[in-house]
Chain A
Amino acid sequence: MRGYLDTLKVIVQIALRNLFASRLKTLIVGGIILFGSLLVVVGTALVDSVDASMSRSVIGSVAGHIQVYSAKSKDELTVMGNMNMEAPDLAPIDDFAVLRRTLLGVPNVKAVVPMGLSSAMVTAGNTVDVVLERLRDLARRKLAGENVQVAYESEKDHVRQIITVLSADMDNVRKIQNEKAISQDDLAAVAKVASAEFWAGFDRDPYLALEFLENRIAPLASDADMLFLRYLGTDVDAFAKSFDRMKIVDGTAIPRGRRGFLFAKWVYERQVKLKTALRLDRINDGITKRSQTIAGSEELQRWIKQNTTEVKEIMLQLDGQKTASFRRLLQGELGKQESDVAKLLAEFFRVDDANFARRYRFFYDRLAPMLELYRVRVGDMLTIKSFTKSGYVQSVKLRVYGTFVFQGLEDSHIAGELNLMDMVSFRELYGSLTPEREREVQEIKAEAGMKEISREQAETELFGKPDLGESAVAGNAQRPVDEADAALRSLAGRQQREDRASQPYDPAQLEQGDVLNAAVIVKDPRRISQTIEEIEAAGAKAGIPLHAITWQKASGLVGQFVTMIRAVLYISVLIIFAVALVIINNALVMATLERMPEIGTLRAVGAQRRFLLGMLLVEALAVGVLFGSLGALLGAGIVGVISAVGIPAANDILYFLFSGPRLHPSLSPANVIISLGIVLAVSAISSIYPGLLAMRVSPRQAMQSDD
């Protein structure tokens, strides 16, 4: 035994000294190995960490561990990050109670959350509509004898202010573009409502005047952007329980048994917020979070330019009193005598690096309290219109209870674009016949005496009059202007629907209706693939053919992202080590050829072939182990540094992948072991051919005499 050890010692010694003797070659080979193992350690650590954090993001926000949907569906389910915004076409599963029972029968299933994904265009918060609706309400109360004179007059002022803004805006457009940019009809309409006679006659027949304002003027104030909302219908309680990253930011959760809507904070901030304020926020983020400067960033400059040119958005919100306050505040802040508030605002928003922080504070401290910062406020009713499966428009009016975020994913649009809705309302929008709706249809039928109604009328009959916002957008829905009582009735009808929307429903309904998909939370995440098989088997047995997919699949492109990165990493590692293999092999072949006489001598004096093989193997392994460990160590150091500093999530996709603002990668023993394993394997493999070559060297090579 001792002899073996001594022999090994001399083998190692010869090998190491040979390596040292050809230092340059050793360093080149070692450098490649070092880089390779460094790449493996850092790369796998990063990818593993991204994988882990992304899985936290996906599992913790919407997907759960497993998503289940009907096997009869046309499309594959993706709950987030799909390229087209269309919700996938899924066949509904009729009875959630049965589905839940079936799924909970699988041992590893902890919880089941019903879901449905859809999207809708929502018109919300045309400032003019809101103001006109308030005025209409005040007019109604005044006619009913309430004492609302002061508020009524103030609101009237506001409407006149809006008209002034609109009129100035139109003049601008005509100046910038051409005379024909705005139709004569529109000009005449604005001229009419700007006239003193119009307002003198207003109180005589407020409804008539309001009709004209709603139909002809409101559409001209084009700030009524459509909101495109993707929403998830679910059992909101079960959702909050299973996805504990979800936190309410503004308002409250939807109370149990209530219909309601929760805005994703991300959507709320970016789509609902006053655009001027949003742009100020973005400039602020750029400066404070990304160390940008206004002077150095075209993007920030563009936002500033937009703010200075699009002051109309704010102007429309200002009634006489607020206009005066704004004038006073802005004159004071800017030190200017200018009396035109629009010009003052434009001047105010023309910020630079020196004054931005001050103006940003001033905007939020002094100006914002007088503005509606959000087009839809918590507590507002939101009308959501959606195309049902059968193609007609269904609309539901829901209270906005609040906004929510997934903790750690606040800035990610992938996790942040889904709003929440109660399952019952979702089913209604989807076109399912809920018991409630069935009852309503029966009532209407009874009331209407089962009369023949056309399809267009049927919708109106079934779902009530469209609200003011819609009719304003529709614009040309000319109604007889003198039917004040008809308008009243429509108001009352809407009131009734709002009441119904705020009526509680029986939570048991959540169980009974249909769902499109369901999120499954499992007890042991390591057994997901087995659980998927069990779920599909259980579904087949229960007569509801199911597709069950992992969260990776359910998260669509996002889920495949890490697989893609991993593939890229593995391919680069493969290439590097293939190159390393060739180079080490070449180096050893060269070394073998150079040392033919020496090898021959060793053979002549009695070294067996395995001695030589051992020598070459030790040479290759020594380089591998030394530089591989060095690379792994360096890699571990780099991961350590990265982990301490954190990789900032530069954009919202990274934010989602990192499951937060920074990725702090962690090193697992597996990363290092894999790296060293690959290095050793490559070293060993690359010494095979030179080994064979060395074994073929004849001891005759030692005899150099001349015959």
Chain B
Amino acid sequence: MNHIVSVRNVSKNYNLGQVVVPALRGVSLDVAEGEFLAIAGPSGSGKTTLLNLVGCVDTPSSGTVIVDDKQTGLLSERELTRLRLHTIGFIFQSFNLVSVLSVLQNVELPLLLQRVLTARERRERVLALLDRVGISEYSKHRPSELSGGQRQRVAIARALVTQPKLVLADEPTANLDSVTGTNILDLMKELNHSEKTTFIFSTHDARVWAYASAVVRLADGQIQDRVSAEEAVRAGGLPAGRPA
């Protein structure tokens, strides 16, 4: 099986003034295409840092991160941006839609940045996707006119509109109530199946694990283990470390 993401012995340190804070310490991880991978861990365990590195938003202090066969540490800022644009979709905890653009424009934005499709092709793809995530009737609305769940659907559509190989979701259900969160996860899982898109999402919500093809448990910047969803649910909680 091909690995869309390959993390090898990666460390990441942040400089806070004079103090060097290690966020990740020697992490190695392979993600196969089509996975629906959850990264679990308490706050401060390094979930977001790992996502940043995989998402080409950041580069490692040591070790290598390979995304879609490209070693991110060797890429320039522009190349990293291009890699994000064409290969990765992002779903954020706070949805992060552009407030002054309509739903349709928000979803279309990555396509505009890609400059590959014509206006008509873009429109067709966006409308189809909005239909797919169930908010086609809101295409003209501004994000502020939508509920949290609807906004996250827009964000999912935006993440998928470029047909990326990899979608990263940072605590996608954290700002949603449980019913809505479940619906969103259903949708993501469904897209994972139908589009064969690889999903990696960080979470400390145990309910989410049930959906995952595997759960990577992080603590103190290190991977504790990689277990199946059933195991994770059976373990019934977070790995040892600081409480959430």
Q: A702 contacts which of B82, B92, B109 (Cβ < 8 Å)?
A: B92
Q: In the assembly, what is the distance between CA of A706 and CA of B41, in Å?
A: 12
Within 8 A of A (CB), among B87-128: 89-90, 92-94, 96-101, 105, 108-110, 112-116, 118-119
- B70 lies within 8 A of chain A by Cβ: no
Chain A 584-602 interface mask (CB, 8 Å, partner B; 1/0): 0000000000000110111
Q: A705 contacts which of B48, B85, B110, B115 (Cβ < 8 Å)?
A: B48
Q: Which residues of A contact B115 (CB under 8 A)?
A: 3-4, 6-7
Q: In the assembly, what is the distance between CA of A236 and CA of B81, in Å?
A: 83
Chain B 54-73 interface mask (CB, 8 Å, partner A; 1/0): 01011000000000000000
- A677 lies within 8 A of chain B by Cβ: no
Q: Which residues of B contact A703 (CB under 8 A)?
A: 48, 51-52, 57, 92-93, 170
Q: In the assembly, what is the distance between CA of A611 and CA of B174, in Å?
A: 30
CB closest residue in chain A, given B159: A605
- B152 lies within 8 A of chain A by Cβ: no
- Tell me whether A611 and B113 are in contact (CB under 8 A): yes
- Tell me whether A705 and B90 are in contact (CB under 8 A): no
- Tell me whether A598 and B99 are in contact (CB under 8 A): yes
- Tell me whether A10 and B112 are in contact (CB under 8 A): yes
Q: Which residues of B contact A602 (CB under 8 A)?
A: 98, 109
- Tell me whether A601 and B85 are in contact (CB under 8 A): no
- Tell me whether B51 and A707 are in contact (CB under 8 A): no
Q: Which residues of B contact A10 (CB under 8 A)?
A: 101, 105, 108-109, 112
A704-B99 contact in complex given A10-B112, A606-B110, A699-B84, C-beta closer than 8 Å: no
- Tell me whether B47 and A707 are in contact (CB under 8 A): yes
Q: A604 contacts which of B55, B93, B94 (Cβ < 8 Å)?
A: B55
Q: In the assembly, what is the distance between CA of A699 and CA of B78, in Å?
A: 12
Q: In the assembly, what is the distance between CA of A703 and CA of B202, in Å?
A: 11
- A147 lies within 8 A of chain B by Cβ: no
Among listed A11-19, A251-259, A495-503, interface-contacting one: A11-19
- Tell me whether B170 and A14 are in contact (CB under 8 A): no
Q: In the assembly, what is the distance between CA of A702 and CA of B169, in Å?
A: 12
Q: Which residues of A contact B99 (CB under 8 A)?
A: 21, 598
- B44 lies within 8 A of chain A by Cβ: yes
- Tell me whether B105 and A597 are in contact (CB under 8 A): no
Q: In the assembly, what is the distance between CA of A706 and CA of B84, in Å?
A: 22
Q: Which residues of A contact B82 (CB under 8 A)?
A: 606
Q: Which residues of B contact A601 (CB under 8 A)?
A: 90, 92, 96-98
B14 to chain A, nearest CB (A): 10
Q: How many residues of B contact A (CB 8 A)?
A: 47
B174 to chain A, nearest CB (A): 7
- A608 lies within 8 A of chain B by Cβ: yes
B201 to chain A, nearest CB (A): 11
CB closest residue in chain A, given B117: A3
- B35 lies within 8 A of chain A by Cβ: no
Q: A2 contacts which of B49, B101, B118, B170 (Cβ < 8 Å)?
A: B118
B222 to chain A, nearest CB (A): 14
- B46 lies within 8 A of chain A by Cβ: yes
- Tell me whether B98 and A598 are in contact (CB under 8 A): yes
Q: B84 contacts which of A605, A705, A707 (Cβ < 8 Å)?
A: A605
Most B C-beta atoms less than 10 A away, residue of A4, A597, A606: A606
A630 to chain B, nearest CB (A): 23
- Tell me whether B81 and A705 are in contact (CB under 8 A): no
Count of A-B residue pairs with CB < 8 Å: 112
Q: Which residues of A contact B77 (CB under 8 A)?
A: 609
- A664 lies within 8 A of chain B by Cβ: no
Q: B113 contacts which of A7, A14, A698 (Cβ < 8 Å)?
A: A7
B104 to chain A, nearest CB (A): 11
Q: Which residues of B contact A702 (CB under 8 A)?
A: 57, 90, 92, 96
Chain A 502-517 interface mask (CB, 8 Å, partner B; 1/0): 0000000000000000
- B43 lies within 8 A of chain A by Cβ: yes
- B11 lies within 8 A of chain A by Cβ: no
CB closest residue in chain B, given A15: B100
A358 to chain B, nearest CB (A): 74
Q: Which residues of B contact A699 (CB under 8 A)?
A: 57, 84
Q: Which residues of B contact A6 (CB under 8 A)?
A: 112, 115, 119
A163 to chain B, nearest CB (A): 98
Q: Which residues of B contact A698 (CB under 8 A)?
A: 57-58
- B196 lies within 8 A of chain A by Cβ: no
Q: In the assembly, what is the distance between CA of A607 and CA of B55, in Å?
A: 14
A606-B113 contact in complex given A18-B100, A700-B58, A702-B90, C-beta closer than 8 Å: yes
Q: B110 contacts which of A14, A18, A20, A605 (Cβ < 8 Å)?
A: A605
CB closest residue in chain B, given A10: B112
Q: Which residues of A contact B98 (CB under 8 A)?
A: 14, 598, 601-602
- Tell me whether A13 and B105 are in contact (CB under 8 A): yes
- Tell me whether A605 and B49 are in contact (CB under 8 A): no
Q: Which residues of A contact B23 (CB under 8 A)?
A: 707
- A156 lies within 8 A of chain B by Cβ: no
- B150 lies within 8 A of chain A by Cβ: no
Q: In the assembly, what is the distance between CA of A10 and CA of B105, in Å?
A: 8
Q: In the assembly, what is the distance between CA of A703 and CA of B169, in Å?
A: 10
Q: Which residues of A contact B85 (CB under 8 A)?
A: 605-607
- B158 lies within 8 A of chain A by Cβ: yes
- B45 lies within 8 A of chain A by Cβ: yes
- A327 lies within 8 A of chain B by Cβ: no
Q: In the assembly, what is the distance between CA of A706 and CA of B244, in Å?
A: 10
- Tell me whether B170 and A705 are in contact (CB under 8 A): yes
Q: In the assembly, what is the distance between CA of A597 and CA of B98, in Å?
A: 10
Most A C-beta atoms less than 10 A away, residue of B49, B99, B114, B116: B99
- Tell me whether B43 and A706 are in contact (CB under 8 A): yes
Chain A 93-134 interface mask (CB, 8 Å, partner B; 1/0): 000000000000000000000000000000000000000000
Q: In the assembly, what is the distance between CA of A707 and CA of B51, in Å?
A: 11
Q: Which residues of A contact B226 (CB under 8 A)?
A: none
Q: In the assembly, what is the distance between CA of A602 and CA of B100, in Å?
A: 13
Q: In the assembly, what is the distance between CA of A450 and CA of B241, in Å?
A: 133
Q: Which residues of B contact A216 (CB under 8 A)?
A: none
A705 to chain B, nearest CB (A): 5
- A603 lies within 8 A of chain B by Cβ: yes
Q: In the assembly, what is the distance between CA of A603 and CA of B113, in Å?
A: 11
- Tell me whether A14 and B100 are in contact (CB under 8 A): yes
Q: Which residues of B contact A21 (CB under 8 A)?
A: 99-100
Q: A14 contacts which of B46, B89, B90, B101 (Cβ < 8 Å)?
A: B101
A13-B48 contact in complex given A606-B84, A606-B114, A703-B92, C-beta closer than 8 Å: no
Q: Which residues of B contact A598 (CB under 8 A)?
A: 96, 98-99
Extra contacts, 15 of them, besides A606-B84, A607-B81, A704-B93 (Cβ < 8 A), are: A10-B101, A17-B101, A598-B96, A601-B90, A604-B84, A605-B85, A605-B89, A605-B109, A605-B113, A606-B114, A703-B52, A703-B93, A703-B170, A707-B47, A707-B49
29 pairs, CB–CB < 8 Å, chain A vs chain B: A2-B118, A2-B119, A13-B100, A13-B101, A601-B98, A604-B57, A604-B96, A605-B85, A605-B109, A605-B113, A605-B158, A606-B84, A606-B86, A607-B81, A607-B85, A698-B58, A703-B51, A703-B92, A703-B93, A703-B170, A704-B94, A704-B170, A705-B47, A705-B48, A705-B93, A706-B43, A707-B43, A707-B45, A707-B46
Interface residues of A (CB under 8 A from B): 2-4, 6-7, 10, 13-14, 17-18, 20-21, 597-598, 600-609, 611, 698-700, 702-707
The 6 closest A-B pairs by CB, nearest first: A606-B85, A3-B115, A17-B100, A601-B96, A699-B57, A707-B44
